[in-house]
């Protein structure tokens, strides 16, 4: 996912859902935008479900900061997601 400044055309931030993605595990499912309180702070997250079976990833759409991820099936090919959103 990339965020581009519409005035300058420059990259604001990016997030690669699956590092070194050789199998095209791209985020092809829905994305949901919200304005909400998250861990005591007002945030503007993007939520998406991913091919690696995590309901992911909450990213702050203003900064690109990874917020959290949770699996939505009992078994996935990934062992987990680290604190920065990497597999």
Residues assigned a catalytic role: 24
Q: Residue 38: beta bridge partners?
A: 41
């Amino acid at each position: 996912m990339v965020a581009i400044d519409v005035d300058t055309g420059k990259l604001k931030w990016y997030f690669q859902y699956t590092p070194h993605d050789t199998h095209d595990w791209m985020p092809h499912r829905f994305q949901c935008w919200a304005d909400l309180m998250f861990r005591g702070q007002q945030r503007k997250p993007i939520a998406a479900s991913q091919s690696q079976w995590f309901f992911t990833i909450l990213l702050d759409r203003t900064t690109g900061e990874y917020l959290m991820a949770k699996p939505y099936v009992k078994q996935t090919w990934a062992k987990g997601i680290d604190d920065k959103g990497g597999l």
